[in-house]
């Protein structure tokens, strides 16, 4: 990638793969073998762990921490100070008091599917999957999988509604149908945790 797209203060590993159209800003760190697709933005002070896979058109805002082995599909938004964890049972030492090493644990990741957004200061506790176009509210703590199009908030995060591809909350239109007030796109709820797109 063009060095003009990486700020001079950023720390980018030589083995990281970053598309020429992506930008890495002040004091960000992109670790070994991480991969960033086209048109991505990595904000000031953000951290991208070793081997993390970031799709095209993603935005990772200031001071977000994306620990390996996270996977972000295309069009994912990671808000400021978001944390994607990687250790389900974190400890600094083993039971015998010896310091833990890389061989003493197995990282687990957060998978964020296409178009999903994670609000500022939210924490996703691995292993979890955030569904397509879902929206995690600011400050939430996600401890279980989030369905496609779900709007989740709180600690622990729970579904409080549905959102469409515009990010706007959907409005109910009948018993099982929902509609986006911005685009007019229609969705159908097939069970408590499943929403699907329907053709207009």
Residue 57: left (phi > 0), alpha (psi -120 to 50), or beta?
left
- Average the pLDDT over each of 2-6, 73-77, 134-138, 141-145 and give the range with the smallest value: 2-6
Q: What is the dihedral of CA 184, 189, 192, 193, to 10 degrees?
A: -70
The better pLDDT of the pair 90, 160 is held by: 160
- Give me the mean pLDDT over the 177-187 stretch: 95
CATH 3.90.230.10 fits 3-167, yes or no: no
Rounded CA-CA distance 57/68 in Å is: 19
- Give me the mean pLDDT over the 125-151 stretch: 98
Given a cut of 50, whether residue 1 has pLDDT beyond it is no
Given a cut of 70, whether residue 200 has pLDDT beyond it is no
Q: What is the pLDDT of residues 80-135, one digit of tens each?
A: 999 999 998 889 999 999 998 888 888 999 999 999 999 999 999 999 999 999 99
Q: Give percent of the chain with pLDDT exceeding 90.
A: 90
Query: What are the residue ranges of helices labelled H in 3-138?
Result: none
Closest by CA to 124, choosing from 110, 135, 113, 114, is 110
Q: What is the pLDDT of residues 34-67, one digit of tens each?
A: 999 999 999 999 999 999 999 999 999 999 999 9
Q: Please identify which of the residues 7, 26, 74, 111 carries the catalytic annotation.
A: 74
Q: Give percent of the chain with pLDDT exceeding 70.
A: 98
Every domain of the chain and the residues it spans: 3-167
pLDDT, residue 199, reads 81
Active site residue 74: yes
Query: The whole model's pTM is what?
Result: 0.94
């Amino acid at each position: 990638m063009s060095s003009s797209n990486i700020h001079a203060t950023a720390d980018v590993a030589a083995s990281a793969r970053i598309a020429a159209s992506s930008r890495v800003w002040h004091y960000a760190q992109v670790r070994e073998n991480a991969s960033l697709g086209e048109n991505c933005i990595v904000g000031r002070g953000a951290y991208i762990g070793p081997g993390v896979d970031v799709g095209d058109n993603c935005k990772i805002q200031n001071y977000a921490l994306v620990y390996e082995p996270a996977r972000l599909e295309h069009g994912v938004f990671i808000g400021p100070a978001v944390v994607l964890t990687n250790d389900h049972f974190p400890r600094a030492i083993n039971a015998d008091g010896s310091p833990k090493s890389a061989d003493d644990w197995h990282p687990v990741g957060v998978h964020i599917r296409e178009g999903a957004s994670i609000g500022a200061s939210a924490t996703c506790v691995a292993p979890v999957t955030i569904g397509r176009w879902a929206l995690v509210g600011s400050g939430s703590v996600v401890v279980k999988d989030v369905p496609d199009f779900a709007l989740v908030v709180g600690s622990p995060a729970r579904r409080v509604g549905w959102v469409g591809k515009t990010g706007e909350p959907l409005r109910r239109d009948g018993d099982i149908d929902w509609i986006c007030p911005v685009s007019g796109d229609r969705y159908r709820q097939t069970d408590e945790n499943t929403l699907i797109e329907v053709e207009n």
